[in-house]
Amino acid sequence: MLTTLTALAEPTRLRIVELLQSSPRYVGEIEKLLVLSQPQVSKHLRVLREAGVVESTVVAQRRLYELRRQPFQEMAAWLEGYRRSWEDHLDALEAHLEKIGDDQ
């Protein structure tokens, strides 16, 4: 979780990820669409790749980058735990209120 969060918690990288949501892109495309320097793009993609957020496939001398599902699924699952705990607390609250109601 931490690695994924760290990878996404950087403005430029988040922009890259948001771009890749619509479709896979080559490094040069990302560079031009987001107006970044080429090394900047490569380095951010490296971080994203090492965090498992993206993967690349070689196409001639270019590399096509796309998102991996796993980290997003994991984040969703992680959040699910928080959603559930609130639900539980609400359930407990409701139960409590009901009990109070019974007493009156």
Partner DNA sequence: AACGTATATACGGTGCAAGGTATATAAGGT
Partner DNA sequence: ACCTTATATACCTTGCACCGTATATACGTT
CB nearer to DNA: give 38 or 73. Answer: 38
x-or-dash string of contact with its own copies, 69-88, rule CB under 8 A = x--xx-xx--x-xxx-xx--
Residue 2: which of its own copies, DNA, none does it interact with, CB under 5 to 8 A by kind?
its own copies
Phi, psi of 69 (to 5 degrees): -75, -40
1 in contact with its own copies (CB under 8 A):
yes
CB nearer to its own copies: give 38 or 76. Answer: 76
CA 38-42-45 angle, 5° bins: 140
> Which residues of this chain interact with its own copies, rule CB under 8 A?
1-2, 5-6, 8-9, 11, 14, 21-22, 67, 69, 72-73, 75-76, 79, 81-83, 85-86
